[in-house]
Amino acid sequence: MNFSLEGRTYVIMGVANKRSIAWGIARSLHEAGARLIFTYASERFEKPVKDLVATLDGQESLFYECDVTSDEAVQATFNQIKQDVGTIHGLAHCIAFAQREDLQGEFKDTSRDGFLLAHNISAFSLVSVARAAQPLMTEGGGIVTLTYLGGERVVQNYNVMGVAKASLDASMKYLANDLGKHAIRVNAISAGPIRTLSAKGIGDFNTVLKQIEEKAPLRRTVTQEEVGDTAYYLLSDLSRGVTGEVIHVDSGYNILG
Ligand code: NDP
Ligand code: KAL
C-alpha cells in the first residue's frame, strides 16, 4: 500500500504563526507530498501565513480568508475552493476561541455571550465546515479536529473551553456517523499542552507544562510535529478503518488517575 499523499489536496484551517499546531500538520502533510490549501480568520493573517508557506519547498498552495463564525463565509470559501481545485481529500480544523475573562476564575460565572461565542467558534464551526467540505470530497477522505483533555474532565481554568471541547468531541462522532457513507472519516487529536499563540498570556501555563514533564508516562511535553504526524496518519489511508475516534498525543498523560 502506498501511503504517500501525492496527488491529494488538504485544507488546513488555523495557522496563526510558526508555533501553531496547524503549522505542524501542514509540514507533515507537505512532507508526505500533499498539496495544501490554507484558510485564516482575517486578512491580517494573510501575509504571515503566505510567508510561512513560502518556506515549504515546491508547495504551490492556495489561500482563502474564512471566518468560521459566518456560515456564508464558510460556504463561499468552499465554493471558491471547488471552483479553483475541484476535489479535496480532507481538512484539518485547528480553530478555537474563548474570551480571556472566561478562561479564569469559576466556570459558573461564564456569561451567556461568552458561552455561545466559545461554542460557536470552537465546536459549531466543525459542523459548518464539514457540511461545506463534504461535496468537494468526492473520492472520500478525512477530517481531523483538535481537542483537549479539558473536554473529558475538569482542568483548572479551561472552563468554558472544556465544555466547548466536549461539544466538539460529540459533534465529531455524529459527523463521523453521517459522513461515513460517503467514505469520509472524522476524527480528533487530543493534544497535550503546547506553547502556541492561543496559550500565550494564559496564567499557570508553565505550571501545566511542568506537571506534564514530571508526571506524564513519557516525562516530556509533545511537539507540533508529533501532532502533525498523527494528523498525517488520520488523513492518509494508514488509518482507513478508523473513524469517530479521539487519539491522545499527550505523552500518555490522560491515562493517569
Ligand atoms: P493558535 O493560536 O496557533 O491557533 C488558533 C487558531 O484559531 C488561529 O489560527 C485563529 O485564527 C483561529 N481562529 C480563532 N477564531 C477564528 C475564527 N472566527 N475563524 C477562523 N479561525 C479562527 O493555537 P493552537 O495551535 O494551540 O490551536 C489550534 C487548536 O488546537 C485549537 O482547537 C486548540 O484548542 C487546540 N489545542 C491546543 C492545545 C495547546 O496546548 N496549544 C492543546 C490541545 C488542543 P487567526 O489567527 O487567523 O485569528
Ligand atoms: C488548562 C489550560 C490552560 C489554559 C486555559 C485556557 C486555554 C484556552 C484555549 C483558547 C483557544 C485560548 C483563547 O481563546 C485565547 C484568546 O482568548 C486570546 N488569544 C487570541 O485571541 C490569539 C491572538 C488568537 C490567535 O487565539 C485564538 N485562539 O484565536 C489549557 C492548556 C493546558 C492547553 C491549551 C492551550 C488548550 C487549547 O485548547 O488551546
Domain total of the chain? 1
- Per residue of the chain (257 residues), give pLDDT as tens: 678 999 999 999 999 999 999 999 999 999 999 999 999 999 998 999 999 999 999 999 999 999 999 999 999 999 999 999 999 999 999 999 999 999 999 999 999 999 999 999 999 999 999 999 999 999 999 999 999 999 999 999 999 999 999 999 999 999 999 999 999 999 999 999 999 999 987 778 999 999 999 999 999 999 999 999 999 999 999 999 999 999 999 999 999 99
In a domain, 3, yes or no: no
CA neighbours closer than 13 Å in the CB half-sphere of residue 31: 11
Query: Where do we find the cell 488517575?
Result: 257
How far, in Å, are 18, 113, 148, 201 from residue 163 at the CA level? 28, 14, 11, 21
Question: For residue 203, what pLDDT is reported?
Answer: 74
In a domain, 245, yes or no: yes
Say which ligand is closest to the CA of 212.
2
Question: For residue 64, what pLDDT is reported?
Answer: 97
> Phi/psi class of residue 251: alpha, beta or left (left: φ > 0; alpha: ψ in -120 to 50)?
left
In a domain, 49, yes or no: yes
* Crossing angle of helices 71-85 and 125-133, rounded to 10°: 30
In a domain, 71, yes or no: yes
Strand extents, DSSP E, the chain:
9-13, 35-40, 62-65, 90-93, 141-147, 184-191, 246-249
Which ipTM did the prediction report?
Answer: 0.98
In a domain, 138, yes or no: yes
Q: Mind telling me the catalytic residues?
A: 148, 158
Q: Which atom of ligand 2 is nearest to the CA of 99?
A: 17
Contact 97 CB / ligand 2 (< 6 Å)? yes
In a domain, 255, yes or no: no
Question: For residue 129, what pLDDT is reported?
Answer: 98
**Cα(73)–Cα(163) distance, integer angstroms:** 25
In a domain, 1, yes or no: no
Check which CATH number belongs to the domain holding 211 and give it: 3.40.50.720
How far, in Å, are 128, 149, 190, 208 from residue 193 at the CA level? 26, 10, 10, 7
**Cα(17)–Cα(149) distance, integer angstroms:** 23
Question: For residue 204, what pLDDT is reported?
Answer: 84
In a domain, 237, yes or no: yes
Centre of ligand 1 from the C-alpha of residue 1, in Å:
34
For 169, the domain range is 9-250
